[in-house]
Every structure is written in C-alpha cells, then in structure tokens.
Amino acid sequence: MKYLEGQQEQEAIKLIEKAADVAKKGLCLRAKCGAVIVKYGEIIGEGYNAPPLNSEEHRTCLNEYQLPQKFKYDRTCCMHAEWRAIIDALKHKPEKLDGSRLYFTRINEEVVKWGKPFCTVCSRIILDVGIAEVILTQQKGLCLYSADEYNKLSHQYKDEEK
C-alpha cells in the first residue's frame, strides 16, 4: 500500500473523477459507486452499481425478505461497479485486462473518502482476472494497493468484523 504523490496523484485524481462520473449513472438505492479500469492510459472498462440488466424487474432490495446475516458486506441486489467494469473490459478489451489498474470510488454529493479494502468478492475477482493494482480514495489521499494486498486486506477486514 502506498499513497500517491506528485504527477502520479494528479493522474489518479483525473481517473477517480472519471469513476465518480460513471457512479452518477448508478441505479443502486444504497450506494452510488463507480469504477474504471485503465491500461497504458486507456480506459478499457467502466461500471456502476445497478440491478442486473439495469432493470427494475431485477431490483430485489425493496422486497420484504431478509438477507442472511452472513451477507453483511453485500446487502444489495445490485451488480457492483467493479464487476461491471471487469465485464465491460472482458467484452471490449480482454487482451488488456492483465496488468491493468482499477480505480474505485463512491459518491454522495462528492467523492467519499473510503476506508479499508473490504469486499472479498470484488478482491477475488480482481485478483483472478489479472488486474494488477487498485486505487481507492482514503482520508489521507489516493492509496494504491497491489491486487494481492487488496485481496488479503479485504479478508482481514472480514476477520476483524467477526
């Protein structure tokens, strides 16, 4: 984990702003999140939180059922922004996914200063498809994680919750 500085930070800010713009398309009732995947300065995938197929028909979070307690980290019926960005990259630029970097943000009126990596589902998918690094906005600035470290920290976060 390292906090970006100088030119690296300036470039990352632009891509986090792009992820924030993508998040504005989100249809999730719980969180507006956006992700972009970049390789050699080119955006190869982007995604936002929304029900599958962007369809109200697939929105189940308004149903009266209760999710089992073990679903503490994912209490939404929506596709995660990271999943959609990965699917987008796989559809359009699969050859560029390996070694790429994912930028993730959540917005309210502005970019939310994020905490620790926590979604083990996203971290495993990121690792498995070959994304090399993840950048999150945190209180201290933009933080870069290797995919392996991001995965390990996500699982540690889950262990801390128990």
Q: What are the pLDDT digits (tens) for 93-149?
A: 999 999 999 999 999 877 888 777 888 899 999 999 999 999 999 989 999 999 999
At 82, the amino acid letter reads: E
Full-model pTM? 0.88
Q: For CA atoms 87, 84, 92, 43, give the dihedral sign.
A: negative
CB atoms within 10 A of CB 99: 12
Task: Map out the domains of the chain with their CATH numbers.
Answer: 2-51+72-161 (3.40.140.10)
Distance of alpha carbon 65 from alpha carbon 160, whole angstroms: 27
pLDDT at residue 62 in the model: 57
Assess whether pLDDT exceeds 50 at residue 162. no
73-81 average pLDDT score: 73
pLDDT, the chain, mean: 87
**Residue 79 to residues 31, 52, 70, 139, 143, Cα–Cα distance (Å):** 11, 6, 18, 26, 24
Q: What are the pLDDT digits (tens) for 134-143?
A: 999 998 999 9
